[in-house]
Structure 1
Amino acid sequence: TTPYVNAFQDTPDKGFGQFFESPRFATGYTSLFNTIGFVVETHMLKKYADRVKVTYEYMLSAIDFTDANYKKIKQLRLKNEEQYQPKKAYTIKWEIDSTKTVPFSFLGYEAGYKKSDVTSGNRLFYDRTKPFKKDIPYSKEFKSVKNIIIPEAYIIPKGFWPVIDLLKSNTITYTQLKNDTIIEVESYRIADFKTTNSAYEGHYLHRNTSVTSKTEKMAFAKGDYVIPTQQKGIKYLLETLEPEAIDSFFNWNFFDTMLQQKEGYSDYVFEDSATQILKENQKLKAEFDLKKQSDVNFINNPEAQLDWIYKHSIYYEKAHLHYPVYRILK
């Protein structure tokens, strides 16, 4: 067997990196529950009968291996689960470590380009009369680029039914508040994100999401969900409820209602209010003046300046960009 040939910009004989199987993929999903997962992909250049046979043989081998090593597998699963504890770090963003490569013995065919019979350009082809075997560089290690601290629990308001239903479908355990109450939590605000221009699996995914956070006491209602992290599905919780994680519920559009700013202002009306706001809040005025000095685009954009003051005033709606999943840290 060979790892997935993750080569899109060039031919694979130049080397390639391991494919990142995030939770959206079957194998990435099973790993959230410390379960072995694999996808067998046989090559299109092989005969169909050979492809069926090798898939069958692989499945038999996998069954034989797990049967012979089930005790060791159970021990490793338990050991893996022990590392996910509150107050410990958990990586939610990875990238390939291109500084660490290993030689990989690769069987392939020499590649070339020839004039296309269909388009006006050249097309790639593999010459099956020129097979080769060579060692190529393979990057199989990832490095952490973003960590979060695991909370004791998450709180989700009871109105987010689609999210709650998915948690239930994944056997996540929870309790519900019996009374209205005030709890000290860490809350997130979406600082930045990008959205794809084309649909993917029925969604316009967000990416490169970043947040700011603060600790505050907030009012929660009877029936809101409290979800402890110390359970079998802890990695599922972290990968879906942390908005910066690649396949978070936020990135998959489950919280898009918070992205719409519904309230605004009329410039000619708010101008006078803005003057009064800065006059009464010298700290805010100092921040405003500093931004004008340090940001060339800002100083040349009166609309952006007025908007900045509005978003730092009591008139700005609190729900805008306020991520409605909260973290209990202690």
Structure 2
Amino acid sequence: MKQTIILLIFLLLINFTLIGQTLEKKWLTDFEKSNYTATSNYDETINYLKKLEAASPYIKLITFGQSPQGRQLYAAIVSRQKLFNPSEIKKKGLPILLIQNGIHAGEIEGKDACLLLLRDILITKTKAKYLDNCVLIVIPIFNVDGHERMSKYNRINQNGPKEMGWRATAQNLNLNRDYMKADSPEMINWLKFFTKWLPDFFIDTHTTDGADYQYTITYNISDGENQYPQTIEWIKSSLIPYFENKVEKEGYLIFPYVAFKGSKLEDGLVDWVPTPRFSNGYVPLQNRPALLIETHMLKSYKDRVYSTKFLIEAVIEKINDDSQKLVKMNKDADNWVIENYFYKKKPLPLSFSVTDKNKIIIFKGFNSIEKESGITGNKVLVYTNTPVDFNIPFYYDLNVKDSVYVPKAYLIPKEWNEIVDKLKLHGVIIDTVRTSEQAVVEKYKFYDVKFSNSSFEGHQRPIYKYNVIIDTLRLKKGDYIIRTDQRTLQIIVNLLEPLSQDSFIAWGFFNTIFERKEYFEVYSMNKIAEEMISENPKLKEEFLRKLQEDENFRNNSYMRLMYFYEKSPYSDKYLNQYPVLRIIKELPN
């Protein structure tokens, strides 16, 4: 009898082992099947996710748009409570973590890391606890068209996978420059998705270009002073130490993603606050923490995938531990932005610069040498395999470079409805003027307008200066009014203020206001100028003084006539005038 029982136990153990091996083989990813050297294509990726969905009730695969080449944009919603609607999730008070992969489709470690992670959560259940106090959303591939432009030659500086996707979309747009201006169909759909779900934490996975060093993985979390102080404190004192420790325990060196101050490492490293054209600059303007992951391009693809997976896992663990705290911080951040910049009238930072303050840090790099190059005709920097711990300055102190006081509201004429449509994508609440009210407004009048020599992301960006004019006017019915006492305050200001690097006007959406549409003939303008001088002695005096002081003006007959044309009632009063107005005070009728 005893021998029979032992035999049964032995057979059961063998059976369970075989089942486990079969299960493991069935759920191997293409990354694993290739001995960690390749990544799956679009169809293989989506089919794997559909297989997960068929096997588990805790995952739902949804689409949130279509690419220019007709591919669906997929997101996997993963919830232990089987909540796949954002309003239901928020009612339960659960934080939502959005993980985005493949915005630069050649930098695709995050996709393979997430497939492994989802298998651990849903199939083997070794990481099932990650769903205890958190809902995950995984975008496996954002730039789906670029992903399918696969080649082993797409990333000249990168060590694998065997074939990888392309950086830009099928329309040659860089999605990680498109968060504010929203030119691409992919980004338009993403913004609608983001606005609908409004995640509590965001992760964007990438691979570096640039210098060689010992760290397998680097990261950035924006901590500019335009963000809720309690959130920044949680990030710095709790989140970062937690995930740095966890990743290093797994055997991977980790370091913040920083920039070189000069051409050499020895010149030092500088901290930075990303502008909102980037994912990790945009999401903080929505009052939510955003983690940028940058694995090192020269490390093996296997190490890049697994280090990404371990960092994501550490963040999920921390969010589970601090789930209610994170949800509350985000709500408080929404209120803090309004209180700080609308009611207390503190200047809102738009850009930052680094000061000369620094501290000496240890940076784990590689020894480098300069070699003469017959190709370049100069010396070329070459990295060796010799690890070196460098003591170098780190410039950490960031000051506000540009800021602006937030008005009560912005007014956009109804003919600029394209701008209004883009604002709505960001979750901005917009009203229309219903009665003919009066208001004190600030107008921007531009001068010294120049344009970039080449286009950038399909836009000819203007460079300008401007004056501020205060006026009292009557608002027109049907025009759009954007009040700033709403949670998207920072998005509104950064999109509408000319001082912002990623405003609509800085991106060239208002370039027609800089174009002159009416012109004078010399014989007409000369006669009018003579009449103006004879009727206005002060104008004549100013003209003669300018002739004396400005040689270029004196020798240019067209400029001399233009001087009078611009002062005449025939000139275009709207030329170089920003159509968006800042409402400072609304007046009773």
Match of 1:143 in 2: 399
The amino acid across from 2:403 in the alignment is N
* CA distance 1:293–1:37, change in 2 (3 Å): farther
Q: Name the counterpart of 1:105.
A: 362
Q: Determine which structure has more spread, i.e. the larger CA radius of gyration.
A: 2
Q: 1:202 aligns with which of 455, 458, 462?
A: 458
Whether contact under 8 Å (1:5, 1:12) holds in the other structure is: no
Where does 1:1-330 land on structure 2 (aligned, <5 Å)? Answer: 1-7=254-260, 10-70=263-323, 72-73=325-326, 74-75=328-329, 77=333, 78-85=335-342, 87-97=345-355, 99-116=356-373, 118-128=375-385, 130-180=386-436, 182-207=438-463, 209-292=464-547, 294-330=549-585
Output the CA distance in 2 between the equivalents of 1:24 and 1:103: 31
Amino acid in structure 1 at the alignment position of 2:289: I
Aligned partners of 1:190, 1:135: CA distance in 2, in Å?
A: 47
Q: Which moved more, 1:86-95 or 1:218-227?
A: 86-95
What amino acid sits opposite 2:419 in the alignment? V
Q: CA deviation at 1:298?
A: 3.3
TM-score (norm: length of structure 1): 0.89
Distance, in Å, in 2 between the alignment partners of 1:110 and 1:220 is 65
Whole-angstrom CA distance in 1 between matches of 2:576 and 2:508: 13
Give the letter aligned to residue 216 of structure 1.
D
TM-score by length of 2: 0.52
The answer (yes or no) to whether the contact 1:240–1:247 under 8 Å persists in 2 is yes
Q: Check the 8 A contact 1:157/1:220 in 2, yes or no.
A: no
Cα RMSD of the aligned pairs, angstroms, is 2.4
Whether the 8 Å contact between 2:449 and 2:514 is mirrored in structure 1 is no
Could you tell me how far apart the structure 1 residues matched to 2:558 and 2:358 are?
A: 50
Q: Which moved more, 1:281-290 or 1:211-220?
A: 281-290
Cα separation, 1, equivalents of 2:361 and 2:555: 55
Counterparts of 1:124 and 1:193, CA distance in 2: 40
Instruction: Name whichever of 17-26 and 317-326 sits farther off.
Output: 17-26
Amino acid at match of 2:354: I
Q: Secondary structure at the match of 2:415?
A: coil
Q: What are the superposed Cα offsets for residues 261-318 of structure 1, whole Å, 9 maximum, x if unpaired? A: 0112122321221222233334544544554455454344343232222212211112
1:47 positional shift: 1.5
Q: Give distance in 1, aligned partners of 2:298 and 2:515.
A: 49
The answer on whether the counterparts of 2:529 and 2:564 sit within 8 Å (CA) in structure 1 is yes
Deviation per residue, 1:106-143 (Å, 9 max, x gap): 11112222234754444221111x22112211223332
Question: Are the counterparts in 1 of residues 443 and 469 from structure 2 also a CA contact under 8 Å?
Answer: yes
Q: Check 1:253–1:264 CA distance in 2 against 1; reply closer, same or farther (3 A cut).
A: same
Q: Which has the higher helix share?
A: 2
The separation in 2 between residues aligned to 1:96 and 1:118, in whole angstroms, is: 36
The answer as to whether partners of 2:443 and 2:582 remain within 8 angstroms in 1 is yes
Structure 1 counterpart of 2:522, one-letter code = D
- Identity, % of aligned positions: 32
Q: Whose strand fraction is larger, Structure 1's or Structure 2's?
A: 1
Q: Residues 55 and 285 of structure 1: is their aligned pair in 2 closer, same or farther, counting only changes over 3 Å?
A: farther
Separation of aligned partners in 1, 2:440 and 2:407: 12
Q: 2: distance between equivalents of 1:280 and 1:142?
A: 56
Determine if contact 2:338/2:486 at 8 Å carries over to the other structure: no
Q: Using a 3 Å threshold, how does the CA distance of structure 1 residues 313 and 181 change in structure 2: closer, same or farther? A: farther
RCO higher in structure (CA 8 A, sep ≥6):
1
Q: Give the whole-Å Cα distance in 2 for the aligned partners of 1:200 and 1:326.
A: 27
Q: Distance in 1 between matches of 2:318 and 2:548?
A: 65
Shift, 1:72, TM fit: 4.9
Q: What is the alpha-carbon distance in structure 1 between the residues aligned to residue 539 and residue 467 of structure 2?
A: 19
Matched residue SS, 2:518: coil
Unmatched runs of 5 consecutive residues or more in structure 2: 1-253
Give the aligned length.
327
